Structure 1
Amino acid sequence: MKDIFSYRASQSDDGVYPTWKVVFTPADTLPLPTLYTDMAADIDRHLLPTALLIIVRDDVFDHAKKQIQASGHASDDWRIDTNTVPLVLLGLDRRGKCARTVRIGKAAAPTIDEDLFASLLHQGLREIFVRRGALIRAEDGQHFVHPSGKHSQAFIRAANVFVDGPETMFVAACLLACVPEQTRDLWIDTSSIASVAHAFALLRHLLAPDLPIPTISSFSSWRAISQEQSIPRTPHRAALVSATTSGNLARRLVSDQGFRADEVVTLFSFAKAGTPPIVCDLSADKVFWAGAEPMVSAEYREGKCALCDAQSRPIRFVGDQFLADSVCYEPIAILRDDAPKSLREFMQNYHGHEGFGLRAVDDDGDTFRQVGIDPARLLAVDRFQTRFKAAVHRHAPRHLTALVHLDDEASGKLAAEFLKVSDNHDTSPIAAQDLRSLAKSGALDGGIVVIAGSVGQGHDLDGISRDLRDPFGETPRTYIIGFSKHSHTDRSKQLVNNLKFNSLSASGQGYEHVVRPIESLILPDRPARSAWEAEFKLLSLLLEDATDAGDSRETDFLDARLDRLRETGSLAVEELFLSSPDGHPLELRDTFAFWKRDLYRSVSQGDVVFTMASVLENLRYGDAPKLVSDSFTQRVIDPGMFGRYNDGVIQASLLRCALPQELYYASMPQLSRQMADLVKRTFVAKPPANEGSLEFLLAIALGRLRLTASDTREVVDASVHLPYPAAALRKRILETPPDELALVRPTGARKSL
């Protein structure tokens, strides 16, 4: 079980670039193994922190200090050198203040005054609030009806925040400064926040055993106000309001229930005129609202709701747990304009060069990427050459101190091309792996260029950014990236900011480092199991059964298909799908909605998979996302899209690249029937209209495409004439409960990939 809460923080509430690492633990003993693991994961994800701050209870401060000193605080376990990165231990006292600090190591430590400590706590609260999705926003055309009767487009579900023990204790630590010390009766507005109230009581008792332990009870939110119930007026009482967008409940507790203003504490507030004390006031938080619409400011009364007047659908809740009354399923059409804006021109230039396909994530090959890219195969394309030369002419420094490139083939080729384009014959490229062995450079009056063929999450560039400091100090840097594969993700945007501002001089004192991607792509970037990984595990299971049955025809087929999947350790651009019923590979016909093909260049299956993966990702996370679901609306791909895009290779790409929930029609009989009819028509169609038949059946067998039970049976019955592996897939579908289709039991056959 995790026993710390950690986050990145800035030196102020509205800091854009959080470079400090903050760790909080409520434990009696500092959990060093957990700390080491957390530090390793954090540094792999972000840049090296500029300071590490550890917050512990003040009563265990001395013990924690001895633990750190005995651990060898400059060791590799910490992933930092405390002679250059400050490590500061902070003690939290009974008032929620920083009672004392101590520096571990030789690095100069920042001064933690009362205001800065309060800022760090606020940033931690904001991180938990965002991380746990406590602000629930309605989709367009919907709004919420609160238990109070008010209507709004958003509400705060505070219960979402309290799912992790150390995070809950952190919120409790922030309560110490707000709840009066002598409180004996603590009234909460909903039982869903009882955990933080009890955590507060425990934490205060540990820090101040002489103070009373409060009794915790719920007054059921607005029920105590609307039904004119009375909260007992005992001495030393206080009230805890979970969240507010208006501040009205806190004010009513004061006016109607006789609480003093300082006895009513609000946990999370978006109220512009909220009543202190407020633990986490997000009403004017610059970071939280950066680029966001203030959707929580407007509330309406029943019968006088502008949202209802605009035909917005009201979502009603039951009790203070905010349970939705129903879930709506909405089919989404995929249109030509749903592709990323640059995709059409990009693919018209790059298709046919075998640069897109399927690649295994690791050397074992048992986890597959949905889409891979080989930049080395695309460097000679005219469009890339033109853009690369323009970038070099614009950004190449007049005096080149060093040229560094990633360790892969494409990056090496680009580095050589950089020297050729810039007409530089005196510089020798430096591979990233050789940076750490370099001595400090004496010539620091020029610039450094870093070349990357392609970048995904950017861990390699993060590493280079750190390794450049010792030999080259604050020398200006230019990063030229051939293909930025996930340019739409927060991680990619953070990477760019980290690279730009990774020095004291670059932080507003004269210049920023330059980051210049040649091509920016929108591709999925998530660790979810891909359709190809699921296929490999299923076929391995079927191979076991076929081997036991002694069926050589089936084992030959399965062996060949599994061998093909194994080959994706490099980049497979063909045979990504099961063949058509007559044994031919799936091919794109003459027209394609998303780009115009060059008839003199062949189109690979990898080109089509790349295109559809990019289109679907843009529908989820682009500028105008449509394929996004929430607690109340499940958006699925309209079954009609498999008729509109009726090339087997496009249908197969949609089935493979869609998320399973985007193909879930089992709860909507009308959509399920529409999809089942389309699949059955495909089964009986003549070539080439039947090309995707086996891919449809495989998608059902993998649990990715879900129909109602009756529709599934009809589809299975309609597939009896299809060739192998249809028979094995039918058997699996019929013998496996629908909820278990996606769960493939481990196979005892040969080692997976």
Structure 2
Amino acid sequence: MARFFSFNAIDSCQTTGIHFDALCLTYGNDEDVSSLQFFGDLESSIKKCKVLPDCLVVMASAALATKLHDYWCADHTQQKTIVNRGTKSEFLFIKSYYFYAWCVTKLELIASHVLATQSYDISIEKLIQQGLRYLLEVNEVIQIAPAGHLFKHPSGTRSKVFIQAREMARSEPELFFVANAICLRMGRVLQDAEMVFIDTMGIYHYVREALKAAGNKARIESFHSYGEEMKKLSPPIDSYICVISASTSGGMAGELVNNLGFDPNKVVTLIDVTEKNRCGSVLMPLDTLGEVYVGLLEKGMGTETEIELVGEHFSSKAKPPRTVALGVPHQPKLLGEFLNHFALLGVGKLNSNFGNGPANPKLLCLDASPLTNNLEFTQWLDDEVAWCITLAVDHVIHASDPTSKVIAELAAKRIQEFRQTTIPPAVISHDDLCKESLGNAKGILVVTAVAGDGGGLREISRDLREYICTETPRHFLAAVGLPQTAESWARLKQFLERNPTKRKYGFSNWLMLPVGYDGKDSAWEQLNKLAKKAEGGETAAVEGIDQEIVNESLEQLAQLVFKSHQGFLPKHNGGELALTEGFVFFGGKFETEIQEMKIASSVVYLAIASALQCARELKDVNNQLKSTGYESVVLAPECFLRFNDNILQACLLRACHSSELDYSASPHLSKLMQEFLTKVFDRHSHKYGDAALEFAAALAIGRLKLKKDDLDDVIKFAIARLKHQASPLLGFLLLARR
């Protein structure tokens, strides 16, 4: 069970105006936290940060906050460990530690540990609002209707947004945080109230916890939001408060205040799209929480399809999934150019890492060294220096890899030529970056050859905040970007460009190709876990199959998975999966190389993965491979017939999200996949079934899902054909049984 939750917040000091990043840890009520647990929580939270924060804020009940501060003061060894984790190159990054206690109407600072000369004057209310926004996003409280649709609420209101306030908290610390946030807004009214009205029992736990924090045991009474019961309400003689779960129009609060006579000072709505022209208070107005919620108040055109809401429950499984067939419209615009430069030399094996040995392998790894001799790239670099990069640059910082260093030296040489000076800008590796190495820098250029979601660039940007003043111009140059999504790349650009001054820092990029999820829970890692389970666990007897065959099949499975970690599972005869001519996303290129088997499997995977990601981000919603709260979307089963090369089928199975291969909600789609898989397993020793191991593996790890009856029929049929001889395919099918 969760003991705490953490979130990151950005604010500026109320005294100096200096911007800072805060890491906030908030604990549940009455938690029994030991000293070892507390310091472990601090360390794990700091480790998860993409960049080191400027300060750390701990929020807890008064008793627990005092206890945690006592731990901090008493254990100097553990305290030093945490301080060292917030230090880099002997320079303090985490400069302050603050301990706050919830005290009904305020969050009181009970102690601080300031290591720098200047502490931060924190607006704790702004941090709490960012914490609430974090909960809205991570718990998927807000559902936005897909294009061409509007939600029709029980009140009759039609809007783009559906708010599930009951989902705000999914753990005890989150519940405690939300309840105390309510207290901060309405604490005195809660303390005095003898009755609390709520519009739904879905928020009962928030209100009960808020009353507990206020030291009150008032009675809670629920009324139906829109119906005859609400019209019977009238303000009681005794003190009261009315809590509304969520609203998109402010209609309920307006009805209570304007027509039923409730005091607006005793009415609070937890979530609303805005607080403008609303009766009562709004705890979380969405239009103040970021650009993603802008436009929620826009009226429809009158031609949208209505999604009628009944009650609070809402699920995309309420309707059959929509299918999307991958094709030419989903080809990324820059894929062809990307392949021209990297298809033959630049893409390494899957789950490898150029230059850093086996450490920190990446699903897709790019060797950017050919860039330094690439005429198109060097011409682009010349143009960027001439048109976009400030001539104030006198220091060039590069990521800690050889190619980034060469590009940085090229850029420094071009800057020197344009400045017509004999002194080139200093070129510094990120490993050597410190306050002394920058001296009196007048301008900074940061260079990296390849960036994913930009963790390295974020780290350099964070370091620069400590070493040079904010007003010093800086420019970030990422030659090639391989982010997971276009959105994550946009967030990186925003992070690097924005600063407290009125101007933006510069950002340049030559090629960028979103390639989808490349995290630690990839299909390869899921298979490794399955193989370890098959290798080490005791196997239950399987009726009708000799136990030795079962054990041998699982052992062969484990060996094959470990052997294939940098590629795909082989064909039945042990041969590698291969591509044939005519692959649509290659656009007629590399035909000779395909015949000569010179195209690496990782290049094929990159093409499929980028096409799938393009499908998820496509503007045409009818052809978009993206599920919403209203509608689930899956890859059309016909794709496995369209892309019938064994390696393409394997790439689809590995690069798709699990939800995109979940056919269990549609009897029709599940039956189509059952028929296809039956043929694949039946012909596993022929060309048609070359990818049989990949399909069986996808079933075994749960990436490919069918209705239970269909899955049972497929497995029963295949096992009956394979049970007389041990094989990895039999092993996967045995593990795929439910």
Q: Calculate the TM-score normalised by the size of structure 1.
A: 0.79
Structure 2: state its 5+ residue gaps: 418-422, 540-544
Alpha carbons of structure 1 residues 632 and 532: separation in structure 2 relative to 1, 3 Å: same
Note if contact 1:129-1:161 (Cα within 8 Å) is conserved in structure 2: yes
Pick one of 574, 579, 584 that aligns with 2:570.
579
Note if contact 2:317-2:632 (Cα within 8 Å) is conserved in structure 1: no
Pick one of 459, 478, 481 that aligns with 2:478.
481
Pick one of 335, 353, 362 that aligns with 1:343.
335
Note if contact 1:89-1:102 (Cα within 8 Å) is conserved in structure 2: yes
Note the C-alpha offset of 1:75: 3.5
Q: Calculate the TM-score normalised by the size of structure 2.
A: 0.80
Pick one of 642, 645, 657 that aligns with 1:644.
642
Tell me the residue number matched to 1:126: 133
Alpha carbons of structure 1 residues 45 and 541: separation in structure 2 relative to 1, 3 Å: closer
| Structure 1 segment 631-710 matched on structure 2, within 5 A | 631-681=629-679, 684=683, 689-710=688-709
Distance in structure 1 (CA, Å) of the matches to 2:95 and 2:447: 28
Distance in structure 1 (CA, Å) of the matches to 2:69 and 2:51: 26
| Structure 1 segment 603-618 matched on structure 2, within 5 A | 603-618=599-614
Give, as a single letter, the amino acid of the residue that structure 2 aligns with 1:578.
L
Note the C-alpha offset of 1:420: 6.2
Alpha carbons of structure 1 residues 155 and 462: separation in structure 2 relative to 1, 3 Å: closer
Q: State whether structure 2 residue 67 is matched by structure 1 residue 75.
A: no
| Structure 1 segment 302-701 matched on structure 2, within 5 A | 310=304, 312=305, 314-317=307-310, 319-322=311-314, 326-359=318-351, 370-376=363-369, 380-392=373-385, 394=387, 398=391, 401-418=394-411, 429-436=427-434, 439=436, 441-445=438-442, 447-468=443-464, 475-486=472-483, 488=485, 490-501=487-498, 507-508=500-501, 512-525=504-517, 527=519, 529-539=521-531, 549=548, 561-562=560-561, 564-565=563-564, 568=566, 576-581=567-572, 583-596=574-587, 597-599=589-591, 601=593, 602-621=598-617, 623=619, 626-681=624-679, 684=683, 689-701=688-700
Note the C-alpha offset of 1:643: 1.4
Distance in structure 1 (CA, Å) of the matches to 2:241 and 2:668: 53
Q: For residues 278-319 of structure 1, give each alpha carbon's deviation from its aligned partner in whole angstroms, at most 9, with x where no partner exists.
A: 24242542x43x1555345659xxxxxx86x64x253442x4
SS at 1:9's partner residue?
strand
Distance in structure 2 (CA, Å) of the matches to 1:187 and 1:687: 69
Distance in structure 1 (CA, Å) of the matches to 2:690 and 2:534: 23
| Structure 1 segment 91-240 matched on structure 2, within 5 A | 92-96=102-106, 104-111=114-121, 116-140=123-147, 142-176=149-183, 177-178=185-186, 180=189, 181-205=191-215, 212-223=216-227, 225=229, 228-230=231-233, 233-240=236-243
Distance in structure 2 (CA, Å) of the matches to 1:735 and 1:105: 55
Distance in structure 1 (CA, Å) of the matches to 2:531 and 2:107: 59
Alpha carbons of structure 1 residues 608 and 237: separation in structure 2 relative to 1, 3 Å: same
Alpha carbons of structure 1 residues 660 and 91: separation in structure 2 relative to 1, 3 Å: closer
Give, as a single letter, the amino acid of the residue that structure 2 aligns with 1:453.
A
Q: For residues 608-632 of structure 1, give each alpha carbon's deviation from its aligned partner in whole angstroms, at most 9, with x where no partner exists.
A: 1001111112223455562222344
Alpha carbons of structure 1 residues 271 and 297: separation in structure 2 relative to 1, 3 Å: farther
Distance in structure 2 (CA, Å) of the matches to 1:139 and 1:58: 44
Bigger helix fraction: 2
Note if contact 1:2-1:34 (Cα within 8 Å) is conserved in structure 2: no
Distance in structure 1 (CA, Å) of the matches to 2:30 and 2:712: 58
Note if contact 1:587-1:649 (Cα within 8 Å) is conserved in structure 2: yes
Q: CA RMSD in A?
A: 4.5
Note if contact 2:395-2:438 (Cα within 8 Å) is conserved in structure 1: no
Alpha carbons of structure 1 residues 543 and 382: separation in structure 2 relative to 1, 3 Å: farther
Distance in structure 2 (CA, Å) of the matches to 1:105 and 1:552: 60
Note if contact 2:38-2:68 (Cα within 8 Å) is conserved in structure 1: no
Alpha carbons of structure 1 residues 16 and 632: separation in structure 2 relative to 1, 3 Å: farther
Tell me the residue number matched to 1:7: 8
Note if contact 1:188-1:241 (Cα within 8 Å) is conserved in structure 2: yes
SS at 1:186's partner residue?
strand
Alpha carbons of structure 1 residues 324 and 224: separation in structure 2 relative to 1, 3 Å: farther
Tell me the residue number matched to 2:266: 263
Note if contact 1:355-1:378 (Cα within 8 Å) is conserved in structure 2: no
Note the C-alpha offset of 1:137: 1.9
Distance in structure 2 (CA, Å) of the matches to 1:561 and 1:19: 46
Note the C-alpha offset of 1:638: 0.3
SS at 2:336's partner residue?
helix
| Structure 1 segment 707-726 matched on structure 2, within 5 A | 707-712=706-711, 715-716=714-715, 717=717
Note if contact 1:44-1:459 (Cα within 8 Å) is conserved in structure 2: no
Note if contact 1:65-1:89 (Cα within 8 Å) is conserved in structure 2: yes
Distance in structure 1 (CA, Å) of the matches to 2:369 and 2:103: 58
Question: What is the aligned-residue identity percentage?
Answer: 21
Moved more, 361-370 or 126-135: 361-370
Distance in structure 1 (CA, Å) of the matches to 2:592 and 2:362: 29
Alpha carbons of structure 1 residues 649 and 75: separation in structure 2 relative to 1, 3 Å: same
Give, as a single letter, the amino acid of the residue that structure 2 aligns with 1:242.
S
SS at 2:192's partner residue?
coil
Tell me the residue number matched to 2:542: none
Note the C-alpha offset of 1:197: 0.9
Note if contact 1:655-1:696 (Cα within 8 Å) is conserved in structure 2: yes
Note the C-alpha offset of 1:161: 0.5
Q: How many pairs are equivalent?
A: 701
